[in-house]
Chain A
């Protein structure tokens, strides 16, 4: 798994765009919307290498926080201007309302690409980059509000261990969210999807990234991944409650959600 992603790291984003025709951005947007994080949330994004989810999270939380501040200011219209100026000072150093995201990935190269992207796009606050294995996270118990893993869990050898680790590091009441390719229910769509996956994607891999094998592996790992209901049962086995899933594009991708109650 490590070597696959080492070679894939630099071209990862480009390949995502071409393979999914850019729809992966929409999926990730829907994912973060479903999370609906409030300011002060601490997110652990596992296998989050190039930072897509982390950046979206930061944008979301920043806009919610700004809206909250505006609402608060509107109610305090009888403040004197030294007091208002002071509140601006406080807010500047706290543009995310104390939210934080820790991006954890097993692969250094993916993290490097992510860090560069962050600098390039101007994200400075609230981000941390940590190397770690999803089956054995380098974090203490009960630390995070939300644990996300987007398109990463199918690459984990022991999924049950990863789920148990997720349970461990989440705070009570915390949420587990997983965005992953899943089983397409519609038979016609399924045929088209198979055709596309096995014929087109490895070719794209070769042309764009110069790597047929890695993308062959990718497509096969998608097929090997358990279907929605089975994965839901696995999540429940790890101890999560209120587990359910939402299919996007009739099953090409599914978002599973569970709570540590």
Chain B
């Protein structure tokens, strides 16, 4: 997603794209204590540390904000209006208005609102990564205890799902848009990278077949819990967290059960590995 901005037209002073120097006076990336508050709070306008923007500083000779950054600002501002207008171009138009832009700026995005939803999801994933990173640092510094895996997974998923709470009424609409065929590649990749992240911080060292099963299992837990959450009316989503707890416990037990079939599994895997090695050696021999 490393999109480099098109070269700035040096002669025209842009009406809206702000100078980078202005932006850097603003607060840097929000501190972790703010993560639990609704994401509707104005995010800091720039994301200078985000990996998607590497290379832009070196590309442009002028220090103007790029189109991409402006789009992110508009989408972030639009999130505030989602509870009222849904994930639509109307919400984006209202967001643009708060930034002092014309409502026509919403025309920069698809009218389905897909980009708004994808932006929100990737923002949530980034926040989750930050959270997990902070937690890991605390453990390394000895300030906190390392949690057992099931507790860790539960907490990570709960934190991530709680980010949906301010938008939970319109979330079913978002899910259906994310499942549209042309959105599936993006939404799927966001989902898998989030799950990867969680396992990474959980200390997953596996390089064998288990890697896939763990991803699949956790993805399943996340998706089902999300669905439960959307129709949960208990106070503070108590029922959802209990459901989550049960599913994670199930997954842990399943891990034990698989040990019994492991010998068959191992033999199978070794057979496959052997086949792969043979094929690759045959290939190199053919090249020689």
Name A's B-contacting residues (CB within 8 A).
34-38, 40-41, 68, 145-146, 170-175, 236-237, 239, 241-242, 257, 259-261
Contact = CB atoms under 8 A, between A and B. Distances in A.
Nearest to B8: A241
A228 to B, nearest CB: 18
B106 A239 contact: no
A173 B17 contact: no
Interface of B: 9, 12, 14-17, 67, 70, 89-90, 93, 96, 99-108, 111
A145 B103 contact: yes
A241 B16 CA distance: 11
Given A171-B101, A174-B104, A261 B70 contact: yes
Contacts of B17: 241, 261
Nearest to A72: B84
B102 A261 contact: no
Nearest to B101: A173
Given A241-B67, A260-B15, A260-B16, A173 B9 contact: no
B108 A259 contact: yes
Contact of A38 (B12, B16, B90): B90
10 contacts: A38-B103, A41-B103, A145-B103, A145-B104, A171-B101, A175-B107, A239-B14, A257-B107, A259-B104, A259-B107
B14 A175 contact: no
Contacts of A170: 102
Nearest to A173: B101
Given A239-B9, A242-B67, A173 B111 contact: no
B208 to A, nearest CB: 47
B67 A173 contact: no
- In this complex, the member of B9, B101, B102, B105 whose beta carbon has the largest number of chain A beta carbons within 10 angstroms is B102
A199 B99 CA distance: 53
Contact of B93 (A38, A237, A260): A38
- Interchain residue pairs A-B with the least CB separation, the first 6: A173-B101, A173-B105, A175-B104, A173-B102, A171-B102, A239-B12
